[in-house]
Amino acid sequence: LIGFGDLASLIVGLGFVLARFVFASWLLPLMLVASVIVGSLLGASLDFLVVVLFSVILAAYDYSAVFFTKHMITLAEGLQERKAGFMIEITNKSQARNSNENATVGVKTKINLKAEKTEGFESVKLGTGDVVIPLVVTVSALRSFGLAAAIFSLFGSLAGMFVLLSVLSKKKGYLPGLPPLVGGALLGVGIFWLVKILSGF
């Protein structure tokens, strides 16, 4: 951890691990904190071109693993059965009410994104990698080009999430999360440079 010695970092890390097992209700916030830390450290440590190559390769792998080899789906289902994987579940409250189910935000054990209903998405599971990798792009853009580039990258990722939710509102099944999220983040940086060039700054 930045600003900590090796021993202090070890203690803090062990504390997070122990808290995950002792306080089950802390799992979601702990997972989010860990994802932010990992994404921030990687983004701050890698050059932007390296990040672009790294994220594009992972997005292509994610796409292939879901639509072609399908081993990501097999892995996700196996993790769910064993309750061994981490997922963030985002629930559509209106859809949950329509189906007489409680709207909750919790942690599930699936990888990538899955829509549970055909009429509007009811439940979306987002893997930690789908959070970390776009964050790596955004932090690297911040480090390399400044705050404005990071903001464009962030809004690009949000646009990618909107596209995913739009698709999930019309169909169910597994979808790879990284292609639209990473693509949106990179597109945001590209738009930043386009605006910068056209504005003459």
Q: Rounded CA gap, 128 and 125, in Å?
A: 10
Q: Which residues contact 162 (CB under 8 A, 6 or more apart)?
A: none
CA dihedral angle for residue 29, residue 24, residue 81, residue 63, rounded to 10 degrees: 10
Q: Rounded CA gap, 119 and 102, in Å?
A: 17
Distance separating the N- and C-terminal Cα atoms of the chain: 36
Quick check: 166 pLDDT over 90?
no
Local structure of 6: helix, strand or coil: helix
Is the pTM value of this prediction over 0.85?
A: no
pLDDT digits (tens, 9 = 90+) for 77-131: 665 665 545 566 666 555 544 544 443 333 333 334 444 444 555 556 677 788 8
Neighbours of 166 (CB within 10 A): 11
Range in 100-109, 110-119, 155-164, 173-182 with the lowest mean pLDDT = 100-109
pLDDT at 103: 39
Local structure of 123: helix, strand or coil: strand
Region of 143 on the Ramachandran plot (φ > 0 left; ψ -120 to 50 alpha; else beta)? alpha
